[in-house]
Structure 1
Amino acid sequence: MHAPDRPSPLTHPARLILILSLGPTVGLGIGRFAYALVLPDMRDTLGWSYSAAGFMNTINAAGYLAGALAASRLIKRFGLAATVRWGTLACVLSLALCAFSDNFIVLSFARLLAGLGAAAGFVGGGALAATIAQSRPERANFLLSLFYAGPGVGILSSGLVAPFVLQAFGPGSWWIVWWAMTLLAVAMTVPLLLAPLDMSASIGDAAATKFAIRPVLIYLIGYFLFGAGYIAYMTFMIAYVRDAGGGAAAQSAFWSLIGLSAFVTPWVWRRVLALDRGGLSTTIILGVNAIGAALPIFGHSAFLLAISALVFGVAFFAVVGSTTAFVRFNYPPAAWPAGIAAMTIAFGIGQTLGPIAVGAVTDAMGSLSHALNVSAAMLAVGAIAAAFQGRLARKP
């Protein structure tokens, strides 16, 4: 791979990657995770069970899985930048659909579309961010972590808006929140459409690159468990805070703390992300993520919930970054899109199965605390699995 020419101030790597991060900001931070903020009101107004509520994230995750499976072909046909932009626009459309209808099928389709767009944009964006970061090899891991902090911006911004919209308009105003999220997403998508993201650097024929599963199977299992475990926390914690007596301010504060954690992630984990030792960096970060998810098990105090949000959030955003660092360390540039797509598929399978399964457990046991127990346990086992992944023999 030929390194890109030294960029001008308008195409500085950090600036471009921050603009690229608006893709996962919209697709994940708002498109997926803002659902947790609206879920309690939707469930009450529309008469959903926890299983039905979980299904909405399951169908979103199924779309994400399908998008991950199709990403390499989309990148080959349309290019990295176009895949990111069209994927993000699909997420914006899905938000608008959620505001238009209370029909379960229409809402399910909207959540499916959000998943498809988010995955395509995420795989394309991750590969493009890795390519841009190579222009500054000494800072590549730090630059990559800027991309993966993107969802935190969406979580923070939606957390500062959604609870107060619900409070202002009262029960049944969930659809107004979706309109607010749509407008927020539109504003964040504009820079992504205007930025000069079509890099001259080539990463080879990504779609034609073979990716062998066997050498990284244990690592993929760990990432699958992360996908299954984190989504329960991110789906049901706002309902947990509300059930514990937290009003709009408490819900906003909790969600915003998770989002704020993203801003320190690049500095907290940059040395860990630089470890070229197989799955070690993922094990460390995922272990901290599991601790954050487990803390609400020990009580409902505001202090404990705040610490949980901070610890969970600061590790959550870095886990995904650690998988891209693993791919970058162990595969040639031409294999990066295929490698990132494989990781995203494992993650997508996990988060497809996680929400509806945990929702069923909650319906059966009658308490959200059981969902959090299962979530923390899966994250811990995922950290252990990643520890068994060694370095791969690099191929030129």
Structure 2
Amino acid sequence: MATRGLYLLLGPASALGVGRFAYALVLPLMQGAWGLSYAQEGLLGSANTLGYLLGALSSHHLLLRLGYRRGFFLALFLQALALSLTGALGFPLAFALRLLQGFLGALVFVGGAALLMASGGSSPVLGLYYGGVGLGLLLSPLALREGLSPLEAWGRLGLVAFLLSLPSLLALPALREPPPPARGEGGLGPIGLLLLAYGLYGAGYIGYMTFVAAALGQGGLLFTLLGLGALLTGFVWGPWVERVGGWRGLFHVLLVLFLASLPPLAKGFPALSAFLFGLSFLGVITALTQAFRALLPPSAWPRAMGLSTAAFALGQAIGPTATGLFAEALGRAEGALWAASALLFLALLPTRAPTRP
């Protein structure tokens, strides 16, 4: 199972680390070549977020119909193709393909996690899977250079995404399909507070990620440290969550994330803040998954993963606007970090509620 997890971590590396977050790296090239307005730039980012939300909401039913194994790998390779074509014909096609890539990326993320859970993956293995996003963050800048056209830049990123996807096929024969939902199953009451915490986390985490470079400078270094920390998530948080349980582990990882986001630490020790934030922001998902396993029957896990990803996507859609408005009110980007910290603190509160499997 450990080896299998190492293969499947390339799914999030491809679909999220490259497919989603590399947009910020290509945006300056698109600005220069296509003369995009700020509104168009925002629309391209929102298209991907909207696609991710729609994919998360429909993931359980769609993957159940296709088969989780078939759906995971089909989405994984199709999103790489969508990436490679994003720079081909200008804004309208780019908008449609960013929407499609977000939709397919959600299927990859939810589907891979459900397959690992059904196949007996432990918290450390799931931590490695989620931490794969960090590998994509680290590799994306290496594929790009100054002077590329949008077509060349997106083509390179699509190739990286495709090459990352290929080794994951080695896991296919050993993966087991999640069980179908039991008759009459539909009550996810035990995880309601977790979904609330996860949505607030999504809003706070993206607020920090969006504005940390503007608030602190040193964008290249900070994102390298974020990616390095994310890559180590499974090694640090996986064993800890396995030891203390998902609910307590979620409180612990959110506490570290909240402390790492606080502006006094971020301004005084920006490298430490970025590394701790990168180390912890994917640990939230590891703990959440372990909590699902303790609170729900196996047949309910895939649906819970889809709902949690939707809650996260909704929070992530709201977060940049909420934190940006706070920065606007204070007149400086540091205000966004305070708002992000406040949202992460609110995410902590539901995880203190007592619960029993």
Across the two proteins, how many residue pairs are aligned to each other?
356
The aligned counterpart of 2:333 is 368
Shift in Å, 1:28: 0.9
Tell me the SS of whatever aligns to 1:149: helix
Shift in Å, 1:18: 1.5
Contact 1:278 1:389 in 2 (8 A): no
The aligned counterpart of 2:120 is 133
Q: 1:42 to 1:218 in 2, by over 3 A?
A: same
CA distance in 2, matches of 1:375, 1:130: 31
The aligned counterpart of 2:163 is 187
The aligned counterpart of 1:8 is none
Shift in Å, 1:47: 4.6
The aligned counterpart of 2:250 is 282
CA distance in 1, matches of 2:5, 2:221: 28
RMSD: 2.7
The aligned counterpart of 1:34 is 22
Counterpart selection for 2:288 from 323, 346, 349: 323
Cα-to-partner distance string for 1:315-370 (whole Å, 9 max, x where unaligned): 01111111111111222221211121121121121112223444555567654323
The aligned counterpart of 1:254 is 222
Counterpart selection for 2:209 from 227, 234, 238: 234
CA distance in 1, matches of 2:3, 2:151: 34
Letter in 2 for 1:66: L
Contact 1:89 1:117 in 2 (8 A): no
CA distance in 1, matches of 2:164, 2:273: 28
CA distance in 2, matches of 1:386, 1:41: 42
The aligned counterpart of 1:10 is none
Counterpart selection for 1:353 from 306, 310, 318: 318
Q: 1:341 to 1:388 in 2, by over 3 A?
A: same
Shift in Å, 1:125: 0.3
CA distance in 2, matches of 1:232, 1:177: 26
Q: 1:308 to 1:291 in 2, by over 3 A?
A: same
The percentage of counterpart residues that share the same residue type is: 33
Q: 1:112 to 1:202 in 2, by over 3 A?
A: closer
Contact 1:84 1:125 in 2 (8 A): yes
- Decide which moves more: 33-42 or 182-191: 33-42
CA distance in 2, matches of 1:42, 1:375: 28
Tell me the SS of whatever aligns to 2:4: helix
Q: How does 1:1-396 map to 2 (within 5 A)?
A: 13-40=1-28, 42=30, 46-49=35-38, 52-103=40-91, 105-134=92-121, 140-162=122-144, 165=145, 168-169=146-147, 173=149, 175-192=151-168, 194-199=169-174, 201-206=176-181, 210-240=185-215, 244=217, 246=218, 251-275=219-243, 279-295=247-263, 299=267, 304-359=269-324, 367-388=332-353, 390-392=355-357
CA distance in 2, matches of 1:38, 1:239: 17
Letter in 2 for 1:274: E
Cα-to-partner distance string for 1:86-112 (whole Å, 9 max, x where unaligned): 221232133123222431x33322221
CA distance in 1, matches of 2:334, 2:90: 29
Letter in 2 for 1:120: L
Shift in Å, 1:206: 3.8
Contact 1:152 1:317 in 2 (8 A): no
User: Any stretches of 5+ residues in structure 2 without a counterpart?
Assistant: none
When normalised by structure 2's length, the TM-score is 0.88
CA distance in 1, matches of 2:300, 2:228: 33
CA distance in 2, matches of 1:276, 1:371: 32
Letter in 1 for 2:155: W
CA distance in 2, matches of 1:217, 1:188: 35
Q: 1:268 to 1:298 in 2, by over 3 A?
A: closer
Cα-to-partner distance string for 1:20-43 (whole Å, 9 max, x where unaligned): 111111111111111233345545
Tell me the SS of whatever aligns to 2:172: coil
Tell me the SS of whatever aligns to 1:65: helix
Shift in Å, 1:185: 0.7
Letter in 2 for 1:86: L
CA distance in 1, matches of 2:25, 2:70: 30
The aligned counterpart of 1:4 is none
Tell me the SS of whatever aligns to 1:158: helix
User: Any stretches of 5+ residues in structure 1 without a counterpart?
Assistant: 1-12, 135-139
Contact 1:17 1:147 in 2 (8 A): yes
Tell me the SS of whatever aligns to 1:125: helix
Shift in Å, 1:56: 3.1
When normalised by structure 1's length, the TM-score is 0.80
Q: 1:277 to 1:48 in 2, by over 3 A?
A: same
